[in-house]
């Protein structure tokens, strides 16, 4: 059974994004599996995975909107900006009232510059920042423009804030948490972080790893970690036939057309399908398309290709 499209996984805390990719690759037998945006090991929530040929379509996704449920611990900042790091700064927490906190949050809205944290994958001189940080070397990356659309105060306790962050791609919630704490007159770090949305992918579409483990195992038994992430030398739990697992996963996949639904679509006439699939000139973009507009070429619910309205006419970007 061939499988392709996007699977939204609810990543638990304590595992890496790569761990989730490896588990899905192993239980489905699909060689090409990739995530569209890394979540730190301590973070949870929406981790979209592209399976099969869909890995080639990740570049066309619109993940410009991210939504996080952030718990900010006040009183101490850590070197990683999260609970896994060492405390590097402490400060007393002043008395806080909802109105005052909301006023501070409002100052962070809109476009702003943000410096990537020391423990991040942003590269300087060809190496990620975390490479330098782990060696105790202080290397900084140039600040980048980010967009914060909305900050909603969900909870307020004497030393903890719970904030829903709606932001653009490339925003580091860890940095934002520290900046908010500083603006409140104290220090802070992320105590917990859950991604509720990544572009077209939402938490309500997500499959958790215990459910995936249930699709894989032949009988009730061990914890999902023993099923999906058994270490070398440990006894492996018996798995169902791979086709059965793929069938279960396929029912929860989001189609390529749905996942790229922000792009306009053109239905390819049956007579032109072979030509387009072979890399021939695609049908023109929808009427009124702007120059540079990308659009989908479809046949019913099947994605055939991605094209662009170019200066010299329609241009094929990727055959699905």
Both 84 and 43 in one domain: the answer is no
* Domain presence at residue 255: no
Q: Which residue has the higher pLDDT, 129 or 160?
A: 160
CB–CB of 139/167 below 8 Å?
A: no
Q: How far, in Å, CA of 158 to CA of 168, rounded?
A: 29
Domain membership flag for residue 111: yes
Are 144 and 38 part of one and the same domain? no
User: Residue 183's Cα: distance from chain center in Å?
Assistant: 28
Q: Is the pLDDT of residue 246 over 90?
A: yes
- The mean pLDDT of 215-239, rounded to a whole number, is 85
Sequence-ordered list of residues with C-beta below 8 angstroms from that of 276, at least 6 positions apart, any chain: 268, 282, 283, 297, 304, 305, 316, 319
pLDDT above 80: residue 159: yes
Contact 151, 109 (CB under 8 A): yes
Residue 257 within a domain = no
Q: Which of 124-133, 145-154, 164-173 has the lowest mean pLDDT?
A: 124-133
Of 181, 198, 215, the residue at which a domain comes to its end is: 198
Kindly state the average pLDDT of the residues 162-185. 96
Range of the domain at 245: 5-61+201-250
- Residues 38-67 have pLDDT tens digits of 899 999 999 999 999 999 999 999 999 999
Nearest CA among 118, 100, 85 for reference residue 180:
100
pLDDT interval class at 193 (50, 70, 90)? very high
- Whether residue 192 is contained in a domain is answered as yes
Q: What is the CATH number of the domain that holds 206?
A: 3.30.70
Clarify whether residues 18 and 139 are in a common domain.
no
Tell whether 53 is covered by a domain. Answer: yes
Let me know whether 35 and 73 are in one domain: no
Q: How many CB atoms lie within 10 A of CB 66?
A: 21
Residue 235 pLDDT > 90: no
Strands (E), the chain: 5-11, 33-35, 44-51, 65-74, 76-78, 87-90, 110-114, 123-124, 127-128, 144-157, 160-168, 188-198, 201-202, 207-208, 265-267, 294-299, 302-310, 313-319
Q: Answer yes or no: do 38 and 142 share one domain.
A: no
Looking at residues 249-262, what average pLDDT do you find?
96
Within a domain: residue 217? Answer: yes
Nearest Cα neighbor of 79 from 159, 178, 160 is 178
Asked if residue 290 and residue 220 are part of one domain, the reply reads no
Instruction: Give the domain CATH number at 142.
Output: 3.30.2350.10
**CATH code, domain carrying 291:** 2.30.130
| Among 129-133, 183-187, 271-275, the least confident range | 129-133
Residue 258 within any structural domain of the chain: no
Report residue 118's pLDDT band, with 50, 70 and 90 as the boundaries: confident
Same domain, 178 and 207: no
Same domain membership, residue 278 and residue 161? no
* Distance from C-alpha of 49 to C-alpha of 39, rounded to nearest angstrom: 12
Q: What percent of the chain has pLDDT over 90?
A: 80
Number of domains the chain contains: 3
Return the active site residues: 40
Inform me whether the pLDDT recorded for 1 exceeds 90: no
The answer to whether 149 and 109 have CB atoms below 8 angstroms apart is yes
Q: Above 90 in pLDDT, residue 236? A: no
pLDDT of residue 216: 94
What is d(CA 259, CA 159) in angstroms, rounded to the nearest whole number?
40
Task: Name the pLDDT band for 237 (thresholds 50, 70, 90).
Answer: confident
Both 156 and 270 in one domain: the answer is: no
pLDDT score recorded for residue 61: 96
pLDDT of residue 125: 81
pLDDT of residue 138: 84
Q: Is the pLDDT of residue 121 over 90?
A: no
Residues 206, 88: one domain? no
Q: What per-residue confidence (pLDDT) applies to 116? A: 86
Nearest-CA neighbor of 167 among 108, 98, 122?
Answer: 108
Residues 76, 183 within the same domain? yes
How far out from the chain centre does Cα 143 lie?
21
52 and 161 co-located in one domain: no
Q: What average pLDDT is seen over the chain?
A: 93
The answer to whether residues 253 and 212 touch, using CB atoms and an 8 Å cutoff, is no
């Amino acid at each position: 059974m061939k499988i392709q499209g996007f699977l939204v996984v609810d990543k638990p805390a304590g595992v890496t994004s790569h761990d989730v990719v490896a588990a899905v690759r192993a239980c489905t037998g699909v060689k090409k599996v990739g995530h569209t945006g890394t979540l730190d090991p301590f973070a949870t929530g929406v981790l979209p995975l592209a399976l099969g040929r869909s890995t080639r379509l990740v570049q066309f996704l619109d993940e410009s909107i991210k939504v996080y449920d952030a718990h900010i611990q006040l009183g101490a900042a850590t070197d990683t900006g999260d609970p896994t790091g060492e405390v590097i700064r402490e400060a007393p927490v002043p008395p806080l009232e909802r109105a005052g906190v909301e006023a501070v949050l409002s100052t962070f809205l809109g476009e702003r510059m943000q410096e990537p944290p020391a423990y991040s994958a942003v590269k300087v001189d060809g190496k990620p920042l975390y490479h330098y940080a782990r060696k105790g070397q202080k290397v900084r990356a140039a600040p980048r423009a980010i967009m914060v659309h909305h900050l909603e105060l969900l909870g307020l306790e004497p030393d903890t804030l719970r904030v829903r962050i709606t932001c653009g791609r490339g925003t580091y919630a860890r940095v934002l948490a520290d900046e908010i704490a500083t603006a409140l007159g104290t220090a802070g770090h992320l105590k917990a972080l859950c991604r509720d949305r990544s572009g077209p992918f939402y938490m309500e579409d997500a499959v958790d790893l215990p459910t995936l483990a249930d699709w894989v195992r032949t009988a009730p038994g061990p914890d999902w970690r023993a099923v999906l992430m058994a270490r070398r030398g440990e006894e492996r739990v018996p798995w169902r036939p791979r086709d059965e697992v793929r069938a279960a996963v396929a029912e929860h996949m989001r189609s390529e057309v749905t996942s790229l639904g922000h792009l306009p679509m053109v239905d390819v006439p049956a007579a032109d399908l072979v030509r387009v699939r072979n890399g021939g000139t695609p049908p023109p973009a929808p009427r009124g398309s702007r120059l540079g507009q990308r659009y989908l070429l479809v046949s019913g619910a099947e994605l055939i290709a991605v094209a662009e309205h170019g200066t010299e006419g329609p241009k094929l970007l990727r055959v699905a």
